[in-house]
């Protein structure tokens, strides 16, 4: 074969891969002929498998009655899933077509037999899960071959496996890896349906490539990327033209100009962030609760035992904390990020295990974090922001958990604002006068040890900050780079915002101060950053609670630009201008 022919074949393969789609609607009723279906199955059967075990089987389902019964199983699971979603997600999901079990003329269940190959097939001894991995290769081959035959394929995952196995009469040792709907379609969409609907977005390749070891990012042939620098470089100032358009629109709406106060400025800034007027509605929203422990706890700055951090993480994951109640009220999704909890945490839905270290060191004896730990924690925050936005979030909210984290927060606030330690140190979880005075002396001693004035922001962060502060700073930077608003909670988020702003002042364009905390360091922080808190209820809980209470205000500020009529469109007389 000549190199020209090889290039043509390579281009064809790349095109088929690029144009593969998960099809959920638009199937035509005309049947798939047996010869075509056999070619597609032959391609699937050529897939690589560990030890050449070929652990797959294909169950062809054409019978309308059986497909109707399978559809009923999927629909029941769909309803269960919908009930687990926050309202904004549920409303969008309700309008989505997620399967074509009855419409597609052919259904194919691809099964896995983990016993195939006998006791110890080559390559599966140390990795028993390679059986379903091999079946996944067969599914991909089938999918690509179908696209080459101009057939659409849709993958259905809304099943209780035991119910589906019983309906298909599968032996107990088999598992269904994929249930596929196959047939001719009216057209192939230009992009995946989930992307077109705004449910989720594809991650760029550059986010997923690491050189030699995980964390050394860079495409082949390119230099290793510094994720923090790359993220900062992607942050841009607010778009002035979009902000002018938003101010003009606010002045033409059926209300006196300026009558919505701070909310008008919020809408203008979010238009500048998005680069369009009106900006996208900031929903669905996601709050990330970054959890970590602190070595300074050993200095007696709080009466609460350090174990409470892990216990509260468990409470978050069980849905029993205030952050969960407020999130349910406003329709936000909650994720908990273990970036530095001292205890080992069991896997659980909603937990993102990203532990950098089991807590920080005592900041009065030396740096709280190494430079590498601080950088990795910032990168973790960036990646969490990226993942949530890729998953469809249009507004991010900061949350935190960590016994003794107000001590590290006060140290950061004093270091970045230059305010006296006593002025920015609060009572945290409600300490008495003696403990408060001791807390101030501990922070003052730490700052005297590290002398942060004039040092680079990441050095200050590593010296006196917490792992959750570092991750929150990255979370803010990541949101700003993606031009998604981030609603800040209280003093812990404020301290992290000081770090983010020191690294990149334009990152503040993405920030909305959700509330004013009762912690004195927070007032100093929002004043230093020039932010205007939307809520002032003397809160000092953390967790993301203040940000969640402010979320409807942020959403309402943008909804005004989308839904309120102008004087012209409503036929309402405007106030005459002065001559």
Q: For residue range 87-99, what is the model confidence (pLDDT) as tens digits? A: 888 888 887 888 9
Q: For residue range 149-166, what is the model confidence (pLDDT) as tens digits? A: 999 999 999 999 899 999
Claim to verify: residue 363 and residue 492 sit in the same structural domain: yes
Claim to verify: residue 196 and residue 298 sit in the same structural domain: no
Sheet holding 285-292, edge to edge: 351-353, 332-340, 285-292, 395-401, 486-488, 511-513
Q: For residue range 329-380, what is the model confidence (pLDDT) as tens digits? A: 999 999 999 999 999 999 999 999 999 999 999 999 999 999 999 999 999 9
pLDDT band at 242 (very low <50, low <70, confident <90, very high): very high
Look at the pTM and tell me if it is higher than 0.85: yes
In whole angstroms, give the CA distance from residue 462 to residue 481: 23
Let me know if residue 88 belongs to a domain. Answer: yes
pLDDT given at position 178 = 95
Let me know if residue 301 belongs to a domain. Answer: yes
In whole angstroms, give the CA distance from residue 137 to residue 41: 13
In whole angstroms, give the CA distance from residue 541 to residue 430: 10
Let me know if residue 140 belongs to a domain. Answer: yes
Which residue matches tokens 């936000």?
332
Claim to verify: residue 177 and residue 303 sit in the same structural domain: no
CB distance 342 to 275 below 8 Å: no
Let me know if residue 294 belongs to a domain. Answer: yes
* 543 is an active site residue: yes
Sheet holding 151-156, edge to edge: 56-61, 106-112, 175-184, 151-156
Write down the mean pLDDT value for the chain: 93
The arithmetic mean of pLDDT across residues 239-263, rounded, is 95
In whole angstroms, give the CA distance from residue 524 to residue 402: 21
Claim to verify: residue 193 and residue 313 sit in the same structural domain: no
pLDDT given at position 97 = 84
pLDDT given at position 576 = 64
Claim to verify: residue 546 and residue 407 sit in the same structural domain: yes
Distances, alpha carbon 180 to alpha carbons 97, 155, 183, in Å: 15, 5, 10
CA dihedral 31, 35, 36, 40 (to 10 degrees): 120
Last residue of a domain, one of 180, 200, 220: 200
Last residue of a domain, one of 200, 223, 242: 200
Let me know if residue 310 belongs to a domain. Answer: yes
Claim to verify: residue 193 and residue 302 sit in the same structural domain: no
Q: For residue range 554-572, what is the model confidence (pLDDT) as tens digits? A: 999 999 999 999 988 777 7
Contacts 24+ apart (CB under 8 A), 129-132: 130/50, 131/50, 131/53, 131/55, 132/55, 132/175, 132/177
Tally the domains of the chain: 2
Is the bond leading into 407 cis (omega within 30 degrees of zero)?
A: no
Claim to verify: residue 348 and residue 491 sit in the same structural domain: yes
- Give me 117's structure tokens: 């190959």
The arithmetic mean of pLDDT across residues 229-242, rounded, is 97
Claim to verify: residue 168 and residue 295 sit in the same structural domain: no
The arithmetic mean of pLDDT across residues 525-542, rounded, is 95
Q: Any idea what DSSP says for residue 281?
A: P
- Give me 309's structure tokens: 């951090």
> The CATH number of the domain where 439 resides is what?
3.40.50.10210
Claim to verify: residue 360 and residue 479 sit in the same structural domain: yes
> Which residues are CB-neighbours of 101 under 8 A, at least 6 positions away?
67, 70, 71, 74, 107, 156, 181
Is the predicted pLDDT of residue 190 greater than 60, yes or no? yes
Let me know if residue 228 belongs to a domain. Answer: no
Let me know if residue 127 belongs to a domain. Answer: yes
Let me know if residue 3 belongs to a domain. Answer: no
Range of the domain at 324: 282-555
pLDDT given at position 429 = 78
Claim to verify: residue 32 and residue 162 sit in the same structural domain: yes
Q: For residue range 449-491, what is the model confidence (pLDDT) as tens digits? A: 999 999 999 999 999 999 999 999 999 999 999 999 999 999 9
| Residue of 579, 493, 480, 470 lying closest to 542 (CA atoms) | 493
Last residue of a domain, one of 200, 225, 240: 200
> The CATH number of the domain where 161 resides is what?
3.40.109.10
pLDDT given at position 579 = 44
Percentage of residues in the chain having pLDDT higher than 70: 97
């Amino acid at each position: 074969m000549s190199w020209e022919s090889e290039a043509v074949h390579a281009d064809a393969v790349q095109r088929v891969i690029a144009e593969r789609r998960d099809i959920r609607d638009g199937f035509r009723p005309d049947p798939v002929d047996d010869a075509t279906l056999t070619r597609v199955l032959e391609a699937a059967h050529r897939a690589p498998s560990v030890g050449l075990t070929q652990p797959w089987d294909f169950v062809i389902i054409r019978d309308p009655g059986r497909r109707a019964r399978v559809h009923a199983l999927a629909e029941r699971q769909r309803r269960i899933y919908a009930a687990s979603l926050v309202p904004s997600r549920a409303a969008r999901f309700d309008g989505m077509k997620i399967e074509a079990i009855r419409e597609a003329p052919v259904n194919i269940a691809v099964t896995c037999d983990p016993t195939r190959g006998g006791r110890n097939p080559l390559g599966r001894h140390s990795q028993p899960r390679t059986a379903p991995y091999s079946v996944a290769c067969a599914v991909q081959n089938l999918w690509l071959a179908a696209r080459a035959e101009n057939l659409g394929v849709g993958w259905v995952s809304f099943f209780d496996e035991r119910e589906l196995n019983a309906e298909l009469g599968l032996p107990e040792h088999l598992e269904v890896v994929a249930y596929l709907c196959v047939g001719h379609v009216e057209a192939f969409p230009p992009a995946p349906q989930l992307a077109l609907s705004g449910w989720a977005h594809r991650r760029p390749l550059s986010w997923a490539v690491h050189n030699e070891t995980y964390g050394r990012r860079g495409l082949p042939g390119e230099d290793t990327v510094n994720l923090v620098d790359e993220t900062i470089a992607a942050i841009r100032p607010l778009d002035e033209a979009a902000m002018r358009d938003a101010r003009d629109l606010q002045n033409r709406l059926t209300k006196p100009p300026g009558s919505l106060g701070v909310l008008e400025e919020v809408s203008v800034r979010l238009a500048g962030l998005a680069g369009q007027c009106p900006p996208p509605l900031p929903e669905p929203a996601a709050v990330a609760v970054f959890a970590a422990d602190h070595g300074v706890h050993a200095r007696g700055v709080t009466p609460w035992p350090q174990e409470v951090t892990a216990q509260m993480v468990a409470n978050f994951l069980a849905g029993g904390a205030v952050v969960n109640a407020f999130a349910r009220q406003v329709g936000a999704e909650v994720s908990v990020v273990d970036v530095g909890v001292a205890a080992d945490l069991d896997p659980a839905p909603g937990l993102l295990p990203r532990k950098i270290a089991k807590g920080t060191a005592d900041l009065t004896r030396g740096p709280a974090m190494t430079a590498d730990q601080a950088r990795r924690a910032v990168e973790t925050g960036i990646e969490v922001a990226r993942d949530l936005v890729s998953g469809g979030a249009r507004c991010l909210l900061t949350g935190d958990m960590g016994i003794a984290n107000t001590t590290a927060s006060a140290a950061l606030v004093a270091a970045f604002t230059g305010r006296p330690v006593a002025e920015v140190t609060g009572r945290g979880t409600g300490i008495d006068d003696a403990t408060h005075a001791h807390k101030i002396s501990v922070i003052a001693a730490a700052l005297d040890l590290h002398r942060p004035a004039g040092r680079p922001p990441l050095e200050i962060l590593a010296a006196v900050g917490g792992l959750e502060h570092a991750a929150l700073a990255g979370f803010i930077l990541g949101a700003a780079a993606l031009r998604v608003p981030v609603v800040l909670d209280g003093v812990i988020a404020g301290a992290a915002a000081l770090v983010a702003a020191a690294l990149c002042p334009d990152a503040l364009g993405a920030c909305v101060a959700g509330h004013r905390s009762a912690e004195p360091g927070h007032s100093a922080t929002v004043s230093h950053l020039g932010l205007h808190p939307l809520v002032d209820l003397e809160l000092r809980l953390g967790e993301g609670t203040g940000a969640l209470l402010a979320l409807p205000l942020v959403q309402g500020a943008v909804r005004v630009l989308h839904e309120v009529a102008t004087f012209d469109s409503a036929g309402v007389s405007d106030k005459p201008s002065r001559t």
